[in-house]
Amino acid sequence: MIPPPKDVKQDPQAPSSTEQPANLNLGRMTNSVGAPVSDDIAPLTLGARGPILLEDLHLVDKLSHFDRERIPERVVHAKGAGAHGYFEVTKDISHLTRADFLSTVGKRTPMFARFSTVARESGSADTERNPRGFALKFYTEEGNFDMVGNNTPVFFVRDPAAFKDMIAVQKRDPRTHLPSTNMFWDYFTLQPVSFHQLLVMFSNRGTPDGFRHMHGFSSHTYKLINHEGTAHYVKWHFRTDQGIKNLSAREAERLRGADPDYATRDLFDAIERGDYPSWTLYFQVLTEEQALNYKYDVFDVTKVISKQDYPLQEVGRFVLNRNPENYFAEVEQAAFAPSHMVPGIAPSPDRMLQGRLFSYADTQLHRLGPNSAQLPINSPRHRPVTTQRDGPMAFGDNGGRHANYYPNSFGGPHPDPGITEVQAGCKLAGTVGRYQYEVSDKDFEQPRALYRLLAPDEQQDLVDNIAADVRTTHPPIQRRVVEVLGRIDKELASRVQAGLNSS
């Protein structure tokens, strides 16, 4: 965990990101191993016009590091911004979970948040029509807990095998290296369960006005376990205290060219001037019996749980009040994974969540290596006590002389049997097999309700946004889009068809 710098003042008079304190003096320059540098401009040459000598050790050191500055980009959520803050419990939920950081009203936990677009690369615009990542790292007394959510309560697909393909069609055509609406709509019309998410994405909610004016959601259902071992299933809702604000398609497109880093700039500037954004956390809570008997599958991430059936229950609030001192160290190297859990919080049988438990941690092993948890931004509040050793870029004393195996008789770490296993008491039975979800009329009920919930002007924006995108596809794909929309709402399909006809 990165503590706040002692000399940083969070007030309106603090220097901006491009300024340095007037009295700052870092002293003599050195190379990467601490040796003093005599000249950082002129290379060591054989005479004024002669070749550069390989024994110019400072130049070699400088260029070789420069050649290796970039680490692998995230495959998803590449473009993002982050900030530090704290989470505070405001309501007693100790009857639901034994998680220490949720145990007491008034308890504060330091945290780090990263917001992002999902599918595009690091150089893309912040105002792209796309879901937004909503990743939170809580530095709890019992280890780090990562909530890796989005700004939408549902997702495109419900099976992890489809995740790679769903992302591929939102990236670039393998031949032209251009975004392709044909790839996009071809795939999603063949995966019609995705249209719940697509209606959210092509409404104005698909272009939020920066990161401060959007909600966050776990999307998945999680399990909470209390001290008695009783389990409940919950959806997490982080509702912005700044109020929801979205951009029209026209304004989002304008900002895409005029200020592609609009959301990043907005978040940084707000915190820098002391206008700290905050979000209030709510749970939707179901008993195990209620979850298993609900009218929709609560483990299907393409579905929501109605707030009329299970109202939101307030839990706490997080505030972002400190900007990173160095983007690469604190934002780019931040490693989030749903598998980073603490006692009292556990995964549900949600298939997409189960796939992400592996995939997100695995991508950090690729990007940052097996010791990424030792980086300051990822390190827990208390030093891990583990038998893990070695690997690239191991920091600190690498466990010192202590035993790197268990069991041992030399005072090494040992498990704590008092910790409740996350799946304790979970009764599962079945036959191993590949069980595919079948698309049914039920999959179109919630998208239909969403469309009819929109105000007339919001419905028109949705129709216009879909028609504008689908208009650039091949006619057979256009017909499939209208057919799927017809299963959601005949009027919606008719209006999109009219928009396509007017092109």
Contact assessment for residue 266 and residue 277, using Cβ atoms and an 8 Å cutoff: no
Contact assessment for residue 86 and residue 110, using Cβ atoms and an 8 Å cutoff: yes
Helix, strand, or coil (residue 121): coil
Cis, bond preceding 208 (omega within 30 deg of 0): no
CA distance 341 to 337: 9
- CB atoms closer than 10 angstroms to residue 487: 16
320, burial (CB in 10 Å: exposed 0-12, middle 13-18, buried 19+):
buried
Q: Is 465 a catalytic residue?
A: no
CA 67 to chain centre: 29
H/E segment holding residue 144 = strand 143-150
- What are the tokens at 496? 């999109």
Phi-psi sector, 321: left (phi>0), alpha (psi -120 to 50), beta: alpha
Instruction: Indicate the residue type of 373.
Output: A
- What are the tokens at 62? 């400088």
Contact assessment for residue 501 and residue 493, using Cβ atoms and an 8 Å cutoff: no
CA distance 203 to 147: 25
Length of the chain: 503
Q: Is 77 a catalytic residue?
A: yes
- What are the tokens at 341? 């859990």
Q: DSSP assignment, residue 19? A: -
Terminus-to-terminus CA distance in the chain, angstroms?
A: 54
DSSP 372-428: GGGSTTT--SS----S----TT--TTTTTTS--SSS-SSS-----TTSPPTTTT---
CA distance 183 to 172: 9
Question: Given 58, 84, 130, 150, which residue is catalytic?
Answer: 150
Task: Give φ, ψ of 234 to 5 degrees.
Answer: -140, 150
- Residue appearing with tokens 């220097």: 15
272, burial (CB in 10 Å: exposed 0-12, middle 13-18, buried 19+):
middle
- What are the tokens at 147? 């909530």
The catalytic residue positions are: 77, 150
